[in-house]
Structure 1
Amino acid sequence: MNALRAITSVRLQVAYAAEQGIPVSRSLAGSGLNAGMLQQSDATIEAEQELTVVRNLCEQLDDPVAHGLAMGQRYHLSSYGVWGFALLSSQTFGDAIRLGLRYLGLTFAFLDIRLEEIGDQAFLVLDDTALEEAVRPYLLARDSSAIMVVQEELFSLRVPLTTLNLRLPPRDPAPFEAVFGRTPTFSAARSEAAFTQELLTMLLPQANPVTARLCEEQCHQLLVQRHSRGGMAARVRRRLLQQPGRYPDMEALAEEMHMSSRTLRRHLGKEGTGYQELMDEVRRMLAEQWLTLGILTLEEISERLGYSELSNFIHAFRRWTGQSPARFRRERKEEG
């Protein structure tokens, strides 16, 4: 949620809102965007600008959850650019999911999505806990609906879900059944969609290892570009990358930057992030790079990332990616 993002998602939502009778000017109010910018295909915006548009829509739409489900159906793979092509050319469904989550920052999702494999089930956890309540139901419906579009376009069929739990109050299940092919359990402790783990090994019809590798390289370059531009979050990231493993606490970093920790926290909050989130992001990026290179041991990587115990690093990596560092390294080696 920290990086710049394409304006595509705002364009799609403003067009949908116009169909519901909401003027473009009202949809864009307070976002710093205008109708002309929506026509610039290569324009990038801050996540907060899209959130402003989402807040406007939620204030105007009669049923944000129902409209979120409908809106999500408009996010086709082609909407995501190179990220979509990378998924299409992946070898298996599992490869596509893991690649997609590695570069989730190139999508329009506001949910923190991760894959967990437990027993014979695979769970896509749709974590919406960081979202403000005014927009959370809409974005949960929108992003989860968009996920179904992506997987249907990968397979040309809908993956059968074994479980659909949603952190939404009880309501008419029919619209959800139409999108997900399953009746949801409402008022769940967390939102998640589960399917049998064996589906992760299903081959994709347009698999192409060479294209997948090229697309992933482009995804990495694009993500770096979007993260490196401007803002307080970018300054903090650059500082954390200068001395991996020697991370100052927030007070010390704020002093380095000649401001109070309260001011730094406020600036980061305006950009939709926080110090711990940025530290986790940098650690994850470095961990994935070092694991892929295969030169350092897990203990060395853990130490370089500033963890006092290997178990703490393994726990953090599982939280970030849904799998252990050893498994990640093994899969990357097999892909190579």
Structure 2
Amino acid sequence: MTTPDLHTKRPAASLVLMLDWAAEFGLTVQQCLVGTRISPAAVRSPAAEVSGQQELRAIANIVAALGDRPGLGLQAAARYPVTAFGVWGFAILTSPTLGEAIDVAVRFVRLSYAFCTFETRRHGDELSIVIDARSVPAPVRRFVLERDAAAIPNLYREILGAPPPPSRISFALPDPGPAVGLYEEMFGAVPEFGDAITSVTLPAELLSVPLPQASSHTARLAEQQCRLLLEQREARTGRAGQVRDLLLTDPARPPTLAQVAERLSCSTRTLRRQLEAEGTSFRKLLDEVRHHLGTELLQSGMTVEQVSNRLGYNDVSNFSHAFHRWKGDSPRAYLARQTMTTSPRTRNR
């Protein structure tokens, strides 16, 4: 699971929805934007972008004003239509089946407005969607976890026009007391509270449920757009960009943190602090370099073994495990899927 980079810019649509929702409780835009360095006029521009850090600050202002009460994030989640999520929402909407919609949603979740990380886990005849909020600041953790988790049943209702399917829900939150009814209304079942993890578990047979606006061709185009947009957003600048450039010089034998610090004329401690200030780390940057380069090399025609060697993995299985974490597929399965979607016969359907 990859923690969202709070310094990466995102469309301001989510923040605007939050401001409009907060206004219903009597909060002004100025109150919500205190400390964000965003002007009320600029945030409503169609092309406006904000950082995750700025949106989180606005959420903190709203939660502080309204009180961190159970169910507040669930109420906010109901304000997010699938169209608010742009190409990410479109990729979900046009997926052939519920299972494929979940797959694309989790793989490209960084294009959504989520601050939690999402991961799917298969257990026999069940699929669990695990939502992790540990990286979210404590003052807004409950609110954000509720809002992000509620996107699952919220999008299901909108796309299929039906109540959420039978599922088992658990929350890494204390029992909400009287507010439990809000959870039941949103999820269609009473969750278990006080669990070690937050998850929504579905029976596997639901994964084959067809979606009403499915279009394989459109879904492929939307997924391609998701991939391109994610790569653009993850393009690094500043100190992180300098580190990334150094890692790319010899991916088979990438320099260590100490070697990079020496090249940049600073101590390892200073470099760690600078990268942390930019919302990343040396390990995360190395993983990103291997992710993007590995995908490009596979698509260029190199074998899995050749790519593994080129990226400095001492064992093909280690590369395969890493690739599965990045793409949700083994390298060979990923290549087979890419071949199917780019073959003339498939394109002309």
With the length of structure 2 as denominator, give the TM-score of the two structures.
0.86
Q: In the TM superposition, what whole-angstrom CA distance separates every residue of 1:136-159 from its partner, at most 9, and x where no partner exists?
A: 111100101122222222322234
Where do 1:49-64 residues align within 5 Å? 49-64=54-69
CA shift at 1:4, angstroms? 1.8
CA shift at 1:120, angstroms? 0.6
Q: Unpaired runs of 5+ in structure 2?
A: 343-349
* Most deviating of 4-13 and 321-330: 321-330
1:74 counterpart residue number: 79
1:299 aligns with 2:305: yes
2:270 counterpart residue number: 263
1:283 counterpart residue number: 290
Checking the alignment, whether the CA contact within 8 Å between 2:252 and 2:309 is kept in structure 1 is yes
CA shift at 1:319, angstroms? 4.2
Cα distance in 2 for partners of 1:92, 1:117 equals 17
Question: Residues 253, 193 of structure 1: CA spacing in aligned structure 2 closer, same or farther, 3 A cutoff?
Answer: same
1:189 counterpart residue number: 196
Cα distance in 2 for partners of 1:301, 1:201 equals 34
1:88 counterpart residue number: 93
Checking the alignment, whether the CA contact within 8 Å between 1:115 and 1:322 is kept in structure 2 is no
2:183 counterpart residue number: 176
Where do 1:113-262 residues align within 5 Å? 113-172=118-177, 173-228=180-235, 230-262=237-269
Q: Unpaired runs of 5+ in structure 1?
A: none
CA shift at 1:122, angstroms? 0.7
1:98 counterpart residue number: 103
Cα distance in 2 for partners of 1:192, 1:321 equals 21
Q: What secondary structure is seen at the aligned counterpart in 2 of 1:228?
A: coil
Q: In the TM superposition, what whole-angstrom CA distance separates every residue of 1:4-53 from its partner, at most 9, and x where no partner exists?
A: 21111111112222222222222111111110122112122222111221
Q: In the TM superposition, what whole-angstrom CA distance separates every residue of 1:312-335 from its partner, at most 9, and x where no partner exists?
A: 334434444555445444544555
Question: Residues 131, 304 of structure 1: CA spacing in aligned structure 2 closer, same or farther, 3 A cutoff?
Answer: farther
* Most deviating of 223-232 and 167-176: 223-232
Checking the alignment, whether the CA contact within 8 Å between 2:172 and 2:196 is kept in structure 1 is yes
Cα distance in 1 for partners of 2:97, 2:250 equals 37
Q: In the TM superposition, what whole-angstrom CA distance separates every residue of 1:147-172 from its partner, at most 9, and x where no partner exists?
A: 22222223222342432111101123
2:279 counterpart residue number: 272
Question: Residues 150, 259 of structure 1: CA spacing in aligned structure 2 closer, same or farther, 3 A cutoff?
Answer: farther
Which has the higher relative contact order, 1 or 2, with Cα contacts under 8 A spaced 6 or more apart? 1
* Most deviating of 306-315 and 1-10: 306-315
Question: Residues 110, 85 of structure 1: CA spacing in aligned structure 2 closer, same or farther, 3 A cutoff?
Answer: same
Checking the alignment, whether the CA contact within 8 Å between 1:74 and 1:146 is kept in structure 2 is no
1:310 aligns with 2:316: yes
Cα distance in 1 for partners of 2:323, 2:195 equals 25
Checking the alignment, whether the CA contact within 8 Å between 2:257 and 2:268 is kept in structure 1 is yes
CA RMSD of aligned residues (A): 2.4
Question: Residues 196, 330 of structure 1: CA spacing in aligned structure 2 closer, same or farther, 3 A cutoff?
Answer: farther
Question: Residues 48, 130 of structure 1: CA spacing in aligned structure 2 closer, same or farther, 3 A cutoff?
Answer: same
Q: What secondary structure is seen at the aligned counterpart in 2 of 1:311?
A: helix
CA shift at 1:290, angstroms? 4.9
Q: Which protein is bigger by CA-based radius of gyration?
A: 2
Equivalenced residue count is 335
